[in-house]
């Protein structure tokens, strides 16, 4: 290229670079978002941007002019980088301002949290405690890991007593066990309290057995024990009837059938007249009109003796009801396995 043309051409390149810088300055002012800024950046300074295409013309210039135009281009690129950097910061702070102005905090608005409530078994346990407390019973607690003696021995299960096989037991490695019934608290009550006394002991018990609609391997019982000088089966029936009528909020008919437990003599199974069909017969009571509810009896003299009392002076009655079965009856729940399933759809109904 001729010298004069080269000079003209170089001047035009300087002008183009200058114009591009002005154009970038002007357009950056109008930009509101990060996306628009990115698009402008790549259209001006990107690989296929306007600056690159201007610089393609450098090859036609003299060495001297090429150097000058190149360094002008670098200078311009630096200035524009600075411009874009500042614009980026401004847009970010603008976006934060906009977000904050939308996220208003209202101190008076109630915070929406999921409301918890008592598990149905716990709620019914408290109800049972209230009714028995009103009849002078004290609520006692006992450990879930028990000694063989408290769970069996002192309750008149001899070492080789076949009744020990009645309940399948979880044993711990040190020879203790997970209590198979709350009757172990009878033993603790006799050791701790002086007669006469009346206690109930609600709690969790464990049995190594298959589960089905009415059997769990972990379930709840409520034990009851009353010790006094003269105690008869009619006292037992009276207390049971009073409790059941208060619990089910209607008059409840009961009947006793003989039942065997080594720690009571005589022992009974107490049935209630089916509340769902009023004794006419339905699937829940298996058409019999009666529901087996709780075992009970008069405390065996050997148990009184093991508890440190003289059986010729002290007598008593005891009972052990299945708390989950009581809840099932109260709310017509058809499967005991719902209780510990952790299913919130089930629990939210209560
Ligand atoms: C006993 O556990 C005796 N300790 C009860 C007792 C106490 C008798 C005092 C006499 C005097 P039984 O194994 O039948 O007895 O259990 C008592 C109640 O617990 C049953 O009537 C039933 O309602 C409930 N129950 C028993 N096994 C299960 C189980 N696997 N799942 C849920 N509930 C059960």
> In tens digits, what is the pLDDT along the chain, a chain of 350 residues?
566 666 777 778 888 888 888 888 888 888 888 888 999 999 988 888 888 888 887 787 788 888 887 888 888 888 888 888 998 998 989 888 888 888 877 888 888 888 889 999 999 999 999 999 999 999 999 999 999 999 999 999 988 876 566 558 999 999 899 999 999 999 999 999 999 999 999 999 999 989 998 899 999 999 999 999 999 999 999 999 999 999 999 888 889 999 999 999 999 999 988 877 888 988 777 888 888 889 999 999 999 999 999 999 999 999 999 999 899 888 888 889 999 999 999 999 99
Place of tokens 């510990």: 340
Cβ 205 under 6 angstroms from ligand 1? no
Structure tokens at 5: 């043309």
Q: How far apart are CA 182 and CA 323, in angstroms?
A: 11
CB 285 within 8 A of CB 276: yes
Closest CA to 30 of 42, 76, 39: 39
Closest CA to 296 of 274, 328, 265, 254: 265
Closest CA to 294 of 232, 211, 251, 237: 237
Q: Quick check: pTM over 0.75? A: no
User: Is residue 232 classed as helix, strand or coil in its secondary structure?
Assistant: coil
Q: How far apart are CA 202 and CA 144, in angstroms?
A: 11
Q: How far apart are CA 335 and CA 289, in angstroms?
A: 20
Cβ 183 under 6 angstroms from ligand 1? yes
For residue 73, what is the enclosing H or E element?
Answer: helix 63-102
Q: How far apart are CA 256 and CA 241, in angstroms?
A: 12
Cβ 51 under 6 angstroms from ligand 1? no
Cβ 316 under 6 angstroms from ligand 1? no
Our measurement of the distance from residue 210's CA atom to the centroid of its chain's CA atoms, rounded to an integer in Å, reads 25
Distance in Å, CA 337 to ligand 1 centroid: 16
Identify the structural domains of the chain with CATH numbers, from first to last: 2-102 (no CATH), 120-347 (3.30.930.10)
């Amino acid at each position: 290229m001729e010298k004069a043309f080269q000079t003209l051409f170089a001047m035009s390149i300087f002008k183009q670079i200058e114009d591009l810088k002005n154009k970038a300055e002007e357009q950056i002012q109008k930009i509101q978002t990060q996306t628009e800024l990115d698009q402008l950046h790549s259209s001006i300074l990107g690989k296929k941007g306007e600056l690159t295409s201007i610089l393609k013309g450098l090859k036609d210039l003299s060495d001297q002019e090429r150097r000058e135009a190149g360094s002008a281009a670098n200078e311009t690129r630096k200035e524009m980088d600075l411009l874009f950097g500042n614009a980026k910061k401004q847009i970010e702070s603008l976006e934060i301002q906009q977000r904050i102005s939308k996220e208003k905090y209202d101190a008076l608005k109630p915070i929406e949290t999921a409301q918890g409530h008592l598990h149905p078994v716990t709620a019914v346990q408290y109800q049972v405690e209230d009714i028995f407390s009103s009849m002078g019973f004290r609520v006692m607690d006992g450990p879930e890991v028990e000694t063989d003696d408290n769970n069996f021995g002192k309750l008149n299960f001899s070492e080789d007593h076949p009744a020990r096989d009645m309940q399948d037991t979880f044993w711990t490695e040190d020879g203790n066990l997970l209590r198979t019934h709350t009757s172990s608290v009878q033993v603790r009550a006799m050791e701790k309290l002086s007669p006469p006394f009346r206690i109930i002991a609600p709690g969790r018990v464990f049995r190594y057995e298959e589960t089905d609609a009415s059997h769990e391997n972990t379930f709840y019982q409520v034990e009851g024990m009353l010790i006094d000088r003269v105690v008869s089966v009619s006292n037992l029936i009276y207390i049971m009837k009073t409790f059941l009528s208060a619990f089910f909020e209607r008059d409840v008919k009961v009947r006793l059938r003989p039942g065997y437990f080594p720690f009571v003599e005589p022992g009974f199974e107490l049935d209630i007249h089916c509340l769902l069909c009023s004794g006419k017969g339905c699937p829940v009571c298996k058409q019999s009109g009666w529901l087996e509810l709780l075992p009970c009896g008069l405390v065996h003299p050997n148990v009184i003796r093991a508890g440190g009392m003289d059986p010729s002076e002290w007598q008593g009655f005891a009972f052990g009801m299945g708390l989950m079965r009581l809840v099932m009856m109260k709310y017509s729940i058809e499967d005991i396995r719902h209780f510990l399933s952790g299913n919130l759809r089930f629990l939210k109904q209560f």
